[in-house]
Amino acid sequence: MAKYMPGSYLTDKNYVYAYAASKLMLQVLKQRNGDFSRENVMKQAEKLYDIELPIVLPGIKASTSHTDHRPIKAMQVERWDGKSWVLFGDIVEAGS
């Protein structure tokens, strides 16, 4: 990030969010089959299945459907060990 965005605030979490959103949009555009109409792009945005994002912990995947537009529905719990954050337990799915 320092190379491509000199002077940016490196700890700003909005950059991470924007990167993840752009990766998902790239997948939507790959699925469009040449049809860039708004209707088709929206349809493809509702058809994301188990997309792995490079900034999300392993095992957490993005998916959407016609009735659920939240792409990330899981998390991994972590605790501070005095030096760094350490993952523990299983991945927790929404509604679990």
Q: Give me the residues paired with residue 51 across strands.
A: 62
Q: Look up residue 92 and give its two tokens.
A: 């927790």
Burial 39-59 (b: 16+ CB within 10 A, else e): eeeeebbeebeebebeebeee
At 51-91, the pLDDT tens digits run 999 999 889 999 999 999 999 999 999 999 999 999 999 99
How far is Cα 37 from Cα 32, in angstroms, rounded to an integer?
9
Nearest CA among 78, 95, 71 for reference residue 22: 71
Nearest CA among 60, 53, 46 for reference residue 23: 53
Q: In the predicted model, what is the mean pLDDT of residues 35-56? A: 95
How far is Cα 19 from Cα 42, in angstroms, rounded to an integer?
20
Its pTM surpasses 0.85: no
Share of the chain above pLDDT 90, in %: 77
